[in-house]
Amino acid sequence: MPRGAELVLRCLRQEGVDLVFGYPGGAIMPLYDALEGSGIRHVLSRHEQGAVFAAEGYARVSGKVGVAFATSGPGATNLVTGIADAKMDGVPLVCITGQVRSTLIGTDAFQETDVFGVTLALTKWSRLVTKLEDIPAVIAEGFYWARSGRPGPVVIDIPVDLMKAAASGLAPAIFLAPQKPQQQKPHASQDWTQRVVALLQSAQKPVALVGAGVKLAHASDKVRALLDDLKIPSFATVHGLGAIDPAAPHYLGMVGMHGTRAANLALHETDLLLVLGARLDDRVTGEPSTFAPYARIVHFEIDPSQLDRVRPCEVPVVGNLAETIPALHLAMASAPRPDWSEWLATAAHEDRGAEQPTGLTAPATQFLDDLFAMLPPDSIVVTDVGQHQMWAAQRFRGSNPRGFLTSGGLGAMGFGLPAAIGAQLAAPGSTVLCVSGDGGIQMNIQELATIHRAGAPIKILIVDNQYLGMVRQWQGLFYERNYAETDLSDNPDFVGIAKAYGIDGRTLGLDCMNPENTEATAQTLREFVRSPKAELLVFHCPREANVWPMVPAGAALNQMMLRDKEPEALEV
């Protein structure tokens, strides 16, 4: 006699799920009991936050919905950071949580939390299932919303008694979405193309800002074709990295707080800003009141709630970028256009180019350059959060649209290692490099056990500066070098920890960057990248290296701090 738990798994199979990440407990035990023979592989994380970040990593690389299981109460609350992360970054995610017995709901029973209430503000859609027969429709609808429009997180909370109940006669369902006005293809109107063409025709200094939406819409090729044709300066947010070929002559690099000087200046000077699938986060805009002060804005976006967040745009183009971008391209094909070559030459001129990092920063970025140069083209770089994240974003030169994963909106430390697990399982044939800090790695270091058991050949780099470096940088710049509670000089032996989990590791001291060690270091990096197993590499980077350039919080994008002064006076 099939039970509710089996029905849940059949519904997941119908949605195309063959891999889930999770952690068992009392209220979700029937689901675990039914796993064997369900056709669904379960990867046991060692913390529910690890499971949800791994599900996100899987979703970000595969484009499919990531699925995480957790039990009621503490299991479910441990998912919260990952749910918030998926909301911010538009990641399709379904979390299935076990709930206490239906009759106990609302009684503060053992391990009861109001998961529906706790996650309401963080989810795109959620349900507490109250009837067995609702399970198929709820799961079908949940998956629909997780992947539709701007993807996002869904929570489905199922009381344990429903999972245990006999479920004969029930089968997976299909969800047909109700129409609402903004879903009726506003881009179908030709009106907006004419307006955008007219704006482009009158623009002297147009630019394109490329965000995550381009990747989510699988529109990288179409955006590349448009920009290669228009030849206007382009740049990417941290989530847009890889959407544009970094070798394209119009590409100026990453924009925003730690973006390139060329990109930030072009964004400040532009008179027509094409925003392609970006939320315009304050890390991208700098001080909102001084953001792109001379620009009219055309915003291509699938989710209307992301429009006008900084200031009203002249033309909102609400729709799927895979359709709206070709429509604009087509309209521009026959339209006369100004010659923007001089503007592009100015924007991309070498005197605006990235200064080579100097002083303490140079070894850190040079190390990443050397390592990234050895990665095969389809590699995936997954970062944690902090200085190493920004260095990795600045130095990333990959052109795989799903090749750079980071917690950009939420900025959640602890993301990197578990997300790399999901990424590796989504792309088993690709090299996955996790770049973490010595602080962030310790937020989910237990996932080394997951990596070991899954046999995932992830390459884990710890950029070890023995500080919570990004916070230390701000303390240095804005808090008179009061390095309160950011010192990590008593870090554990990371290689020893990895070995205890069955993962090999080694350490490279800062002297690996000395010219006499170039060949030995290159050899170590080669072995690291090419190893068929998971490997840890700890790189001791200068303790007080900073990320440059930097637009301080509250400043305009053209108010960049470029580097530490007097690098020659700095100690290593």
Partner 1 sequence: MTITTTMTTTMTTSVTPTMTTSMTLFHIRYRDTQGTLMRLLNAVSRRAIQMPYLETSPESGLQRLTLSLDVTPKQTGQLMREWSATIDVVEVLASAANAEQVEQPKPPQEVWAVASHAAAIAMGQA
Ligand X SMILES: Cc1ncc(C[n+]2csc(CCOP(=O)(O)OP(=O)(O)O)c2C)c(N)n1
Asked whether position 480 contacts partner 1 by CB under 8 A, the answer is: no
To partner 1, the closest distance from the beta carbon of 549 in angstroms equals 9
CA-nearest of 274, 281, 276 to 323 is: 276
Binding partner of residue 470 among ligand X, partner 1, none, CB cut-off 5 to 8 Å per kind: ligand X
Among 20, 156, 317, 451, binds partner 1 (CB under 8 A): 317
Report the residue number, 316 or 505, with the smaller CB distance to partner 1. Answer: 316
Report the residue number, 61 or 545, with the smaller CB distance to ligand X. Answer: 545
The two three-digit tokens of residue 509, written as one number: 């001291």
Query: Which long-range contacts link 293-300 to residues 24+ away (Cβ below 8 Å)?
Result: 293/268, 293/556, 294/205, 294/269, 294/270, 295/270, 295/271, 296/199, 296/203, 296/271, 296/272, 297/273, 298/196, 298/199, 298/272, 298/273, 298/274, 299/275, 300/213, 300/274, 300/275, 300/276, 300/324, 300/325
Burial class (CB within 10 angstroms; exposed 0-12, middle 13-18, buried 19+) of 388: buried
Binding partner of residue 133 among partner 1, ligand X, none, CB cut-off 5 to 8 Å per kind: none
Asked whether position 562 contacts partner 1 by CB under 8 A, the answer is: yes
To ligand X, the closest distance from the beta carbon of 315 in angstroms equals 35
The number of C-alpha atoms within 13 Å of 43 and in the hemisphere containing its C-beta is: 33
Instruction: Say how many residues make up the chain.
Output: 572
Binding partner of residue 173 among partner 1, ligand X, none, CB cut-off 5 to 8 Å per kind: none
To partner 1, the closest distance from the beta carbon of 232 in angstroms equals 24
The answer to whether the CB of 419 falls within 8 A of the CB of 436 is no
Asked whether position 248 contacts partner 1 by CB under 8 A, the answer is: no
How many angstroms separate the CA atoms of 449 and 500, rounded?
9
CA-nearest of 213, 75, 269, 40 to 155 is: 75
Binding partner of residue 125 among ligand X, partner 1, none, CB cut-off 5 to 8 Å per kind: partner 1
Rg (CA), the chain: 24
Binding residues among 273-292 for partner 1 as defined by CB under 8 A:
287, 289-290
**DSSP letter, residue 110:** T
Asked whether position 477 contacts ligand X by CB under 6 A, the answer is: no
How many angstroms separate the CA atoms of 70 and 4, rounded?
16
Binding partner of residue 308 among ligand X, partner 1, none, CB cut-off 5 to 8 Å per kind: partner 1
Residue type for position 378: D
Alpha-helical regions (H) of 90-150: 115-119, 135-147
Asked whether position 257 contacts ligand X by CB under 6 A, the answer is: no
Asked whether position 55 contacts ligand X by CB under 6 A, the answer is: no
Provide the edge-to-edge strand list for the sheet that holds 272-276. Answer: 251-254, 234-236, 206-210, 272-276, 296-301, 315-318
Whose tokens are 């990593």? That residue is 57
> β-pairing, 251-254 with 153-159?
unpaired
447-454 helix and 48-62 helix, angle to the nearest 10 degrees: 50
Beta partners for 240? none
The two three-digit tokens of residue 497, written as one number: 């920890």
Asked whether position 215 contacts partner 1 by CB under 8 A, the answer is: no
To partner 1, the closest distance from the beta carbon of 18 in angstroms equals 27
Asked whether position 178 contacts partner 1 by CB under 8 A, the answer is: yes
Instruction: Give the x/- contact pattern for partner 1 in 318-337, rule: CB under 8 A.
Output: xx------------------
Asked whether position 467 contacts ligand X by CB under 6 A, the answer is: yes
Report the residue number, 34 or 80, with the smaller CB distance to ligand X. Answer: 80
Q: Applying CB under 8 A, which part among 167-175, 182-190, 378-386, 404-412 lies near partner 1?
A: 182-190
Asked whether position 113 contacts ligand X by CB under 6 A, the answer is: no
Report the residue number, 81 or 450, with the smaller CB distance to partner 1. Answer: 81
Binding residues among 398-427 for ligand X as defined by CB under 6 A:
411-414
Report the residue number, 82 or 242, with the smaller CB distance to ligand X. Answer: 82
To partner 1, the closest distance from the beta carbon of 316 in angstroms equals 6
Residues in contact with partner 1 by CB under 8 A are 116-117, 120-121, 124-128, 145, 178, 180-182, 186-187, 287, 289-290, 303-309, 312, 316-319, 476-477, 481, 544, 546, 552, 554-555, 558-566, 569-571
Residues in contact with ligand X by CB under 6 A are 384-388, 411-414, 437-440, 463, 465, 467-471
